[in-house]
């Protein structure tokens, strides 16, 4: 009896698989795009304190960090609706053999004296609401922030507090970036459009064949496979080699950007 039940189950599975293989389907692709202007200004700054003793280096960094904070307040003074959030990466301790010392040596500069301690931190300053500003006002805010913070001892940094001298260092404007407050919400709009277009394309083809479209039986994200991956802001890759985080990529332009996604969907076809 057990053998009979086992054989019956196997025959049932085989029949189900055969039915699925004989099913009429159509595979189409749909692309969704949204255009949106960044609404966040992001400055990536570095600060450091140097001294023979670690405690003195920490104190110097703390003083510089306070001065940079005051500089940010001064730059945004009188600007209604603008508020800066500052994220600190914490302290990194290093001596003359740290990565910045190697960069100075490659540039022909003398390394720091042996035993000198350097304590560094990275500051990410975010100012939201810039999408409502004119280009002229935005340029004024950026200039004021950069000038005042660098006067206070900050250094412009690329994202991630990394500098590879063999890959070409960031030069000019490397610490000024733009981003999106609700990046995922914008991407969801693009996905909605992609799904809608895929369904519409399948229905248009099916209609010509006297058929109707049933349920989706397979979906594949093809965003990175199509031309949209290079022509638009790809949600799954940083743009132009720039870094990103959970809030989305950091981009260099403050202008309107296109976000594109693409999906491949297989729909079941039914007779009318």
Q: Are 201 and 30 in contact (CB under 8 A)?
A: yes
Q: What is the pLDDT of residues 195-217, one digit of tens each?
A: 999 999 999 999 999 999 999 99
How large is the average pLDDT for residues 52-71? 94
pTM tops 0.75 = no
Closest CA to 233 of 271, 183, 159: 183
CA distance 181 to 127: 10
**pLDDT confidence band for 12 (50 / 70 / 90):** very low
Per-position DSSP letters for 40-91, written without gaps between them: EEEEEEEEEEEESSHHHHHHHHHHHHHHHHHHHHHHHTT-TT--EEEEE---
Helix (H) or strand (E) holding 250: none
Best-predicted range by mean pLDDT among 121-135, 213-227, 244-258? 121-135
How many Cβ atoms are within 10 Å of 164's Cβ, its own excluded?
Answer: 11
- Compare 241 and 59 and report the one with higher pLDDT: 59
Of the candidates 197, 22, 161, the residue with the CA atom closest to the CA atom of residue 87: 161
pLDDT of residue 99: 53
Q: Check residue 116 and give its pLDDT.
A: 82
pLDDT at 231: 39
More confident residue, 184 or 114: 184
């Amino acid at each position: 009896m057990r053998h009979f039940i086992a054989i019956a189950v196997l025959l049932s599975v085989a029949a189900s698989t055969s039915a699925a293989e004989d099913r009429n389907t159509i595979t189409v692709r749909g692309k969704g795009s949204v255009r949106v202007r960044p609404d966040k200004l992001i400055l990536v700054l570095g600060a450091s304190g140097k001294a023979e003793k670690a405690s003195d280096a920490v104190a110097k960094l703390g003083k510089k960090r306070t001065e940079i904070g005051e500089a940010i307040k001064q730059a945004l003074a009188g600007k209604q609706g603008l508020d800066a959030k500052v994220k600190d990466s914490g302290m990194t301790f290093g001596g003359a053999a740290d990565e910045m010392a190697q960069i100075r040596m490659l540039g022909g500069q003398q390394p720091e004296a042996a035993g000198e301690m350097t304590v560094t931190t990275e500051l990410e300053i975010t100012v939201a609401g810039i999408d409502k500003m004119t280009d002229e006002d935005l340029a004024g805010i950026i200039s004021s922030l950069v000038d005042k913070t660098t006067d206070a001892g900050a250094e412009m940094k690329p994202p991630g507090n990394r500098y590879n001298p063999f890959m070409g260092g960031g030069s000019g404007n490397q610490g000024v970036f733009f981003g999106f407050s609700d990046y995922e919400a914008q991407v969801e709009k693009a996905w909605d459009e992609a799904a809608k277009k895929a369904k519409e394309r399948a229905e248009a083809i099916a209609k010509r064949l006297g058929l109707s479209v049933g349920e989706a039986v397979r979906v594949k994200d093809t965003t990175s496979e199509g031309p949209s991956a290079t022509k638009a802001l790809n949600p799954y890759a940083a743009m132009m080699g720039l870094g990103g985080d959970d809030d989305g990529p950091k981009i260099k332009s403050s202008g309107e950007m296109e976000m594109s996604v693409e999906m491949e969907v297989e729909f079941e076809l039914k007779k009318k």
